[in-house]
Amino acid sequence: MTESPQHPDASLINDDIRPVLSAERHWSVMDMASLWIGMVVCVPTYMLAAGLISQGMSWSEAVGTVLLGNLIVLVPMILNGHPGTKYGVPFPVLARAAFGIRGAHVPSLLRALVACGWFGIQTWMGGSAIFQLANVALGGVLDATPLGFIGISFSQLVCFFIFWGVQVAILWRGVESIRALEVWAAPFLIAMGLALLGWAYSEAGGFGPMLATPSQFAVGGPKEGQLASVFFPSLTAMVGFWATLSLNIPDFTRYAKTQRDQVLGQAIGLPATMTLFAFIGVAVTSATTVIYGEAIWDPTVLVGRIGGLLTVGLSLFALIIATLSTNIAANVVSPANAMINADPQRITFRMGAMVTAVLGVLMMPWKLMADPTGYIFTWLIGYSALLGPIGGVLVADYFLVRKTVLDVEGLYRNEGPYTYTGGFNPAAMIALGLAIAPSLPGFLHQVKLVESVPAVFDQLYTYAWFVGFAVALVTHTALMALLPHGSFTPPARRA
């Protein structure tokens, strides 16, 4: 049974990051599955598989890549979820065990930075849906001419901030409002996704025409024999898509009643839903080629083409709910908790959420999404090179070094088993640096900051998450056996 720490240091705890007591946990298998369904059914998921089609894959290759990537990332997701349920602690507090009381700020803030980028991207998607809906309702009179350096029109900017404001209002109510939103939204979102698939099936004349486009990598195709060059970076991107949540999943599993609830809920909610919605994205995008003569991979643009105020209104409302449910759960809780961890006495969940919302705007997310290729091969793979190593350190530390035994009291004390050297664990910091290093040259080449690098670094970047996770796991385990890292029993408290 989880208990509150008896003698915590005030600088390391507040009500938002204290352990969730056993009596306070109410999330069941259905709640965990609903959380994932609500997060998975979103515009970026839809566009992810559709983007693979544009790279030359057939529908089966694209959907298979998505399924495999999600089965892989489910493993660290469940593993990192274990301490959340067992001890009731969030990700930034769990990171104190591996990285040190102060060192935990490094992985927490890296994860938070990625989440702020995603929050902005999803807010842009929701704002785009509102813009399309308003434009159809008003007869297409809204101006889409970009405003100078901003890059979008005044109308689009207003719609962006309308959606931003709705999210801020929900976040102001706290974490439990997220659970209520997910439980309500999940079945509605699945139904609307299937309805869109049904429309495409009817308009295109069945699955035959919808899925007839062959792989460009097949014998006789324009990219014959080149499948591996697209499959492996795409697989890394699929893993990277949810590598974010594989780190801070304790932020949610701490509310699960049992390990069974968190394991089954995630196993049911993530791979199956992700694959189903990816298939919908692939099938509908392929159908648009038959229906309109061009592939329309952005669903907000597609529903604007369908026509009919009622149809467009229902479809865009579904997209807005999908984006809302994903964004609040997946991209706010982690950075908010990371900021709380930095200064628990001054920062609350509300304050952290508001800072996240502001940073998401400042990143100008519409520019991040301007290039579909950059979305997959630069954004997803690029940040997976950071998050894979963090995941490797966490899994190694909790399962291989500590055998799932944590001193909860010590996690909330400046002088205890997780103080290490000045609050930093040298083993974890070295492992993190060594695991990120192999992918760095390839990333710099990908974003064109350097003209060329040896081919081996481009290959390593292709497998960025896998390389980083493996190097960090092995290095951290070895260094923790070689370097002094203190006792698991906290020392007597000083007077």
- What pLDDT shows up at residue 492? 43
Tell me whether residue 120 is in a domain.
yes
Residue at 387 is within a domain: no
pTM for this model (two decimals): 0.82
Classify residue 186: in a domain, yes or no.
Answer: yes
Residue 485 lies in a domain: no
Structural domain count of the chain: 1
Do the domain assignments include residue 140? yes
Structural domain boundaries, residue 313: 10-371
Q: Which DSSP state fits 371?
A: -
**Could you tell me the CATH number of the domain that includes residue 27?**
1.10.4160.10
- Provide mean pLDDT across the span 291-308: 78
Mean pLDDT in residue range 294-315: 75
Residue 395 lies in a domain: no
Give the pLDDT of residue 181.
64
What pLDDT does 410 receive?
A: 94
> Cα–Cα distances in Å, from 71 out to 152, 229, 247, 352, 457?
37, 21, 16, 32, 26
Q: Per residue in 6-46, pLDDT tens?
A: 778 888 888 888 999 988 999 999 999 988 887 887 777 87
Helix (H, G, I), strand (E, B) or coil at 490: coil
Residues 214, 217, 219, 223: is their CA dihedral positive or negative? positive
Q: How many CA atoms lie within 13 A of 280 on its CB side?
A: 25
Is residue 170, in this structure, part of any structural domain at all? Answer: yes
Count of CB atoms situated within 10 Å of the CB of 3:
12
Q: How far apart are CA 449 and CA 461, in angstroms?
A: 15
Q: How far apart are CA 136 and CA 303, in angstroms?
A: 10
200 domain-assigned: yes
Q: In which band, very low, low, confident or very high, does the pLDDT at 184 lie, cut at 50, 70 and 90?
A: low
Dihedral pair phi/psi, residue 298, rounded to 5°:
-95, 115
pLDDT score, position 253: 96
> Could you read off the pLDDT of 321-354 as tens digits, one per residue?
777 777 877 788 778 878 888 888 888 888 888 9
The answer to whether 445 and 363 are in contact (CB under 8 A) is no
Mean pLDDT for all residues in the chain: 86
